[in-house]
Amino acid sequence: MEIGVKVKRIRELRNYSQDYMADRLGISQVSYSRIEKGQTKLDMQRMQQIAEILEVDPMMLFNFDESMVLNNCTIAQGLNHNTYHNYSLAETERNALLQHIQRLEKELNELRREKA
């Protein structure tokens, strides 16, 4: 998998938009899109910036394997219950998922307060 695709997958896991990433990098959304499409080559400084925004170790951008994330927590649905099969994730992926869950829980609580 190309580095741009890996960046895209991690960005999506973080629930960040391309506009958000571009703004943080100080570039246009079109320029950022070219990074994810592999049309722009990344130097180490830009890789470091992207890793910092995504809150991951820069090596994760090289080593990211979405099958570790997508296949390590599967759900088998029964009639009235869910069974979760958890397999061990690398610490960085586990932390990324936990942070994403925390952000979603915070958003959910805010929406509940607004509705009340």
| All structural domains of the chain | 1-116 (1.10.260.40)
Identify which has the larger pLDDT, 86 or 111.
111
Interval 49-88: pLDDT, tens: 999 999 888 888 887 776 655 444 433 334 443 333 344 4
Q: Point out the least confidently predicted range of 13-17, 33-37, 94-98.
A: 94-98
Say what the pLDDT of residue 85 is.
Answer: 37
pLDDT > 60? residue 99: yes
Q: Which residues lie below 8 Å from residue 1, measured CB to CB, with a gap of 6+?
A: 64, 65, 66
**Are residues 10 and 60 in contact, defined by beta-carbon separation less than 8 angstroms?**
yes
Query: Alpha-carbon distance 14 to 37, whole Å?
Result: 18
